[in-house]
Amino acid sequence: MKFLYDLLPVIFFFIAYKFYGIYAATCIAMITAVLQLGYALIRRQTIDVMQWLSLGAITLLGGATLLFKNEMFIKWKPTAIYWLMGLVFYFSQFFGPKPVKPIAQRMMEKTVELSETLWKKLNLSWVLFFIAMGALNLLVVYTCDTNTWVNFKLFGSFGLTLVFVLLQAVVLSKISTPTSAIPRKIN
């Protein structure tokens, strides 16, 4: 459910684009992102780094798109988000709450047990994935028309992310031990 909630600005962007064009779609995505964050704040929910980065990117690049009437700004947004996330994942292994752990470990250690080396490799795989996705977005931006980019933004990016996650799940299932199978000390 959270995944669908996180995709709302992209889904609304896609629908608005199909009916009203890139500038209306950009405005709708900006409004949706602000409303989502406002709703989370009102409900006193924790707002994660990704939500703040996404809001910042959509506000800055969406605002520039509308102000300068130049769709290239909004087309760069996915790349900006992917590369920022790549940086967050990369630097998470050096900074953060003690003991410092890669962000992949912080997100998944309750369900999967890996060695420190494997956690770092898993985290690096996400860094490389984000770099590649940012570059792929730019390839589509500069070699395809806007309609193709919008379709790629929703379906291509989502599909590639899903394939990456599923491949990781297969690999993790072969090399890890579910934490529920690990005997716990009983006091």
Spatial neighbors of 49 by CB under 8 A, at least 6 apart, are 88
Helices 2-20 + 22-42 axis angle, to 10:
150
- Digit-coded pLDDT (tens) for 102-140: 989 888 888 888 888 899 999 999 999 999 999 999 999
CA distance 153 to 144: 12
The whole-number average pLDDT for the span 146-169 is: 95
In a domain, residue 136? The reply is yes
In a domain, residue 184? The reply is no
Q: Where are the beta strands (DSSP E) in 68-180?
A: 112-113, 177-178
Helix and strand numbers (H, E) in the chain are 8, 2
Least confident of 32-41, 106-115, 145-154: 106-115
Q: What is the pLDDT of residue 3?
A: 62
In a domain, residue 144? The reply is yes
CA distance 108 to 96: 16
In a domain, residue 145? The reply is yes
In a domain, residue 103? The reply is yes
How many structural domains is the chain composed of? 1
Q: What is the pLDDT of residue 120?
A: 92
For residue 83, the enclosing domain spans 2-179
- Model pTM score: 0.86
- Digit-coded pLDDT (tens) for 41-57: 999 988 887 888 889 99
Q: Please check the confidence at residue 145 and state whether its pLDDT lies above 70.
A: yes
